[in-house]
Chain A
């Protein structure tokens, strides 16, 4: 909503300056988005006549125009508009002027070999409308050629952001009322001029009673024998200050009243109406051509204003060309109606139309302003265009009753925390147009019909503190008491996992929860795709089913920038359905490249599965799981290299899945055309990490270490090649838990003189007793048990 100070002062008796008004507007919730000097830099733009328009010698779509400013000189301008033609009066911008829309400064430029001195402008380029189809066409302005197109009156306009609950402030008078209430002057009375109304409104108007009828009331005035013309200067200025384009007196007046009183109106050329006006629900497939030049085809149950021949317009949204007023129009029918917000909003959104009227009706117009609107507009039309007005006719509901609500006397103090006097309450509410009746414990408030946002006592409280001033609320310092833990176990895990992985050299990324379906499916394990109905772009069209989908895209982008040795991770949601809760938190990391690339002293080597295994296992231990409870298997997911990946589960193969690690499948790296194809990944599923029993977390197991000599023995087993080292380790550990302190696999090899299909695994075992120094004999006994156990369980032989 744009207002100017002078317009505001039509309704507000006040001598305060602009700065004070701006501060106060923001202070009472009418947020000032900006203040701009209207039109001062626009004096460069001149009304000009196109003397001749010919085809550009080197371009089919361009024209070479000879333009006159009425001083006898001819200016050559190259123009791309199809409507540039001989004799057209338009708007000319000379070199050096700044085009309001693009903020570009014009230069003399050669266009396809011909010099162009400035340009001819479209309305959109001058920011006076969105019309960009062709240059401005001015009618009957021959006498103005050479004059400024914009009247150079320096007035500042204030751009307000009006919240959706305040339709009343979509009119200047509503804003003036709020300012007056806040103490910045007095709201002036509306001027009433007696209009001579000598005859009855002759056109029959009916609102069809049907389900979902969007129109509550339809007021009208017939004005005959007018002479429509260009608006007088004062009115044009007002219209331009709103960012609109003056059209004709009749149209400008309806727009003026809409912005002045927040009362949308529509004017029909009465002679073009076929017999009568019928307000009814649309039939599917009906169509009409609207004033924005577009043809709209209606669906069921949209509120249309029609005559005998069909739709004339969409109620509260837009009128049609068939009944539009023109300069030649003699008789008009002026409409002032009330349309239901939900109906207008629905129709507008289905047909994708947005107009100033629609914007107002969907927020709620004062239903009792029908007559007021007719009076204001009729008065101005007769003043400017002459003619005779009929009596007003109102179809439908003529008067809507004011609602009342009851507010407890203590409510203000209870909600706001400070007291307010009865006098203050009365003063504020009365000045806002509320009527108030006091009882002992409460007061009753009658709500003006222009305030559809007020429904209950808290709404009244808001009005009171809004006008009294939010700065009056006294601050109460918070108490520093904590009665509940800040984070739950899972939340603590999240924070811990995040920092644990970052501490291993990974950089944390935060990426979208949605991703590219073509990448996501590579990691989806065949799970159902989760589409977004209205994605922002085709490469962000699904919710991610894997934490890797986006990470690998960004890994590639970083590689493409020339960074090959990367470690990235993200901790966040992945999805397995499109309903609330069908998601889980996953930590995923990707590493690519080599370790010790170009190192002066260490040999470079590829990052491999054991690097990411270390990161996974270490992180899980840091998250509170005992190492012995981590069960490692070589079964992972499709998107890992099947021979170089694994999983970690809790306690056994079938226990909760804690994570995966391994080399990303080479087919994926090559499919994505990664510059560095050696990529390894880790995944940790936080929801499967068990919460230790509280007691266990707080108190550690008894501290016991042995004071006696420890011994180490090495064994080398020859065993089937596909036997897992992890299993041998487990078998040995379980031979004698009391004596075997540590089992370390320190060498693995195949080939040499080993038989085909076999490998050698070398194990170092630490043996130590808690209560004595072991004799050679004791140690040999344990060793023998180890050898026997491994032999029996795996068929291995001791390597000689």
Chain B
């Protein structure tokens, strides 16, 4: 039998997998020298046989191991060679994945709902088409009241009975008529006024709030709005000013301004020497409670209303109200929110 070392060397010298395969059958196959040697074992004495067999097994194992290792080595070499030829340009564009967006108004409504949820408000809704009674009369704004001039109303019939709601306040009436106090609701929704220029759109969004219970007073109103404004603008300190005003459906009535300053033409909400009006509010007028079948001797509370689009503009630096409703792909992409960016109480309003 050839010298083991020579055989090993022979294996190590092989350059490709096919040759190795051939060499493997030559060295270990049926007709291989080592196999012949094994066959001869039978003719040997017990003692010699044992010694020889052990020797042969060792040799066979050694050769097998070497071949296996060599095989792995050649395989690796082959793959590496193949990979060298198979290279892509990873700077080519990735496959497109469509990216949708949530409109800023929707995002802000979700933020607002999340904030008010924390202090126990639930979300109520009402129809976009309202009766003249719910939109005005029930809200203590009888016909011929000059306050109606403040609302340029879209009517759906010539006798002015059905209209597009000019504010979300009629939902107060609906909510109170359909339940029993206490009431603690917010109402985000579409509202309409036939008024259209740079700063007015014929449709916009309002948020109504209503809290009626036994002892809800103006201090609660102040606290509620203070909480909301700080949470919404995500600032710890914010200057807030309540000014007397007039709405037929609240008494006393107030408008609320927040402080701001201008920095490089952008509005920075919080502190500063300027005031920005952001909402109207007040204690629900006893006449409104009466119209909504709530006993004003037992129950009282506050209501507020604010423009959602305007809040979105302030928070996210959007300048033009009309662009909200023009569905410009570029605008929606720029100001829209990732659908995964869901405002929550525990994770925070914005990412």
Q: Are A473 and B219 in contact (CB under 8 A)?
A: yes
Q: Are B246 and A507 in contact (CB under 8 A)?
A: no
Q: Are B252 and A504 in contact (CB under 8 A)?
A: no
A512 CA / B193 CA spacing, docked (Å): 12
Q: What 1/0 mask marks residues of chain A from 488 to 527 whose CB sits below 8 Å from any chain B CB?
A: 1001000100111111111111111110000000000000
Q: Are B194 and A484 in contact (CB under 8 A)?
A: no
Evaluate whether A487 and B252 lie within 8 angstroms (CB atoms) in the complex, with A414-B217, A511-B325, A511-B327 already known: no
- A162 → chain B, closest Cβ, in Å? 9
Chain A residues, CB < 8 A from B128 = 513, 573, 575, 583
Q: Are A509 and B339 in contact (CB under 8 A)?
A: no
Evaluate whether A473 and B122 lie within 8 angstroms (CB atoms) in the complex, with A29-B243, A502-B100, A578-B129 already known: no
A550 CA / B127 CA spacing, docked (Å): 20
- The segment from A10-18, A453-461, A706-714 that touches chain B is A453-461
Among A482, A505, A511, which residue has its beta carbon within 8 angstroms of that of B98?
Answer: A505
The residue of chain B having its C-beta at the shortest distance from the C-beta of A481 within the complex is B120
Evaluate whether A580 and B162 lie within 8 angstroms (CB atoms) in the complex, with A480-B119, A498-B102 already known: yes
Q: Does A532 contact B (CB under 8 A)?
A: yes
Q: Are B100 and A513 in contact (CB under 8 A)?
A: no
- The segment from A1-9, A266-274, A562-570, A727-735 that touches chain B is A562-570
Chain B residues, CB < 8 A from A502 = 100-102, 339
Evaluate whether A487 and B123 lie within 8 angstroms (CB atoms) in the complex, with A503-B340, A578-B129 already known: yes
Among B97, B122, B131, B154, which residue has its beta carbon within 8 angstroms of that of A532?
Answer: B154
A363 CA / B149 CA spacing, docked (Å): 12
A599 CA / B95 CA spacing, docked (Å): 8
Interface residues of A in 709-747 (CB under 8 A from B): none
Main secondary structure of the interface of A (DSSP, over half): loop
Q: Does B245 contact A (CB under 8 A)?
A: yes
- A792 → chain B, closest Cβ, in Å? 44
Q: Are B329 and A566 in contact (CB under 8 A)?
A: yes
Evaluate whether A486 and B121 lie within 8 angstroms (CB atoms) in the complex, with A498-B102, A600-B92 already known: yes
Q: What 1/0 mask marks residues of chain B from 96 to 138 whose CB sits below 8 Å from any chain A CB?
A: 1111111101100010010011111111011111110010000
Q: Are A505 and B100 in contact (CB under 8 A)?
A: yes
Closest 9 CB pairs of A and B: A505-B98, A29-B244, A163-B246, A417-B219, A554-B327, A502-B100, A462-B252, A509-B327, A417-B217
Chain A residues, CB < 8 A from B202 = 512, 514, 536, 540
A28 CA / B155 CA spacing, docked (Å): 35
- A535 → chain B, closest Cβ, in Å? 7
The residue of chain A having its C-beta at the shortest distance from the C-beta of B158 within the complex is A533
Q: Are B222 and A473 in contact (CB under 8 A)?
A: yes
- B217 → chain A, closest Cβ, in Å? 4
Chain A residues, CB < 8 A from B105 = 510
- Among the interface residues A31, A166, A466, A499, which one has the most CB atoms of the partner chain B within 10 A? A499
Q: List 25 A-B contacts (CB under 8 A).
A: A27-B244, A163-B246, A166-B246, A416-B252, A417-B218, A462-B252, A473-B242, A475-B219, A479-B119, A503-B339, A503-B340, A505-B100, A510-B106, A513-B192, A514-B154, A532-B155, A533-B155, A533-B156, A536-B154, A540-B202, A557-B327, A567-B98, A567-B100, A581-B129, A583-B127
Chain B residues, CB < 8 A from A575 = 128-129
Q: 19 more A-B contacts (CB under 8 A) besides A26-B243, A483-B120, A569-B100? A: A31-B255, A415-B218, A458-B286, A473-B242, A474-B222, A478-B227, A480-B119, A486-B113, A500-B339, A502-B102, A503-B100, A504-B98, A507-B101, A507-B336, A508-B106, A530-B156, A532-B164, A534-B194, A579-B129
- B180 → chain A, closest Cβ, in Å? 13
Q: Are A479 and B242 in contact (CB under 8 A)?
A: no
Among A477, A540, A602, which residue has its beta carbon within 8 angstroms of that of B223?
Answer: A477
The residue of chain A having its C-beta at the shortest distance from the C-beta of B105 within the complex is A510
Q: Does A345 contact B (CB under 8 A)?
A: yes
Q: Are B217 and A477 in contact (CB under 8 A)?
A: no
Among B220, B224, B227, B339, which residue has its beta carbon within 8 angstroms of that of A417?
Answer: B220
Q: Are B222 and A476 in contact (CB under 8 A)?
A: yes
Q: Are A536 and B196 in contact (CB under 8 A)?
A: yes
Q: Are B154 and A535 in contact (CB under 8 A)?
A: yes
A511 CA / B342 CA spacing, docked (Å): 22
Q: Are A533 and B157 in contact (CB under 8 A)?
A: yes
Chain A residues, CB < 8 A from B127 = 580-583
Q: How many residues belonging to B are interface residues under a CB distance threshold of 8 Å?
A: 92
Q: Does B47 contact A (CB under 8 A)?
A: no
The residue of chain B having its C-beta at the shortest distance from the C-beta of A482 within the complex is B120
Among A164, A415, A510, which residue has its beta carbon within 8 angstroms of that of B252?
Answer: A415
Q: Are A456 and B149 in contact (CB under 8 A)?
A: no
Please report A residues at the B interface, Cβ cutoff 8 Å.
Answer: 26-29, 31, 163-166, 341-342, 345-346, 362-363, 414-418, 456, 458-459, 461-462, 465-466, 470-471, 473-488, 491, 495, 498-514, 530-536, 540, 543, 550-551, 554, 557-558, 561, 563, 566-569, 572-573, 575, 578-583, 596, 599-602
Chain B residues, CB < 8 A from A567 = 98, 100
Chain B residues, CB < 8 A from A514 = 154, 202-203
Chain A residues, CB < 8 A from B222 = 473-476
A129 CA / B263 CA spacing, docked (Å): 38
A413 CA / B190 CA spacing, docked (Å): 36
Among B92, B253, B325, which residue has its beta carbon within 8 angstroms of that of A510?
Answer: B325
Among B195, B220, B327, which residue has its beta carbon within 8 angstroms of that of A478?
Answer: B220
Among A461, A568, A601, which residue has its beta carbon within 8 angstroms of that of B327?
Answer: A568
Interface residues of B in 51-80 (CB under 8 A from A): none
Chain A residues, CB < 8 A from B310 = none
Q: Are A486 and B117 in contact (CB under 8 A)?
A: yes
A567 CA / B329 CA spacing, docked (Å): 9
Chain A residues, CB < 8 A from B219 = 416-418, 473-476
Evaluate whether A583 and B155 lie within 8 angstroms (CB atoms) in the complex, with A470-B254, A505-B100 already known: no
Q: Does B333 contact A (CB under 8 A)?
A: yes
Chain A residues, CB < 8 A from B130 = 580
Q: Are A558 and B329 in contact (CB under 8 A)?
A: yes
- A595 → chain B, closest Cβ, in Å? 8
A540 CA / B215 CA spacing, docked (Å): 46
A600 CA / B248 CA spacing, docked (Å): 65
Q: Are B325 and A512 in contact (CB under 8 A)?
A: yes
Evaluate whether A164 and B100 lie within 8 angstroms (CB atoms) in the complex, with A462-B253, A536-B202, A602-B95 already known: no
Chain B residues, CB < 8 A from A536 = 154, 194-196, 202
A279 CA / B44 CA spacing, docked (Å): 151
Q: What 1/0 mask marks residues of chain B from 191 to 223 whose CB sits below 8 Å from any chain A CB?
A: 010111000001100000000000101111011
Q: Does B167 contact A (CB under 8 A)?
A: no
Q: Are B100 and A507 in contact (CB under 8 A)?
A: yes
- A409 → chain B, closest Cβ, in Å? 15
The residue of chain B having its C-beta at the shortest distance from the C-beta of A554 within the complex is B327
Chain B residues, CB < 8 A from A533 = 154-158, 160
A599 CA / B97 CA spacing, docked (Å): 13
- B166 → chain A, closest Cβ, in Å? 13
A578 CA / B196 CA spacing, docked (Å): 23
Q: Does B292 contact A (CB under 8 A)?
A: no
The residue of chain B having its C-beta at the shortest distance from the C-beta of A485 within the complex is B122
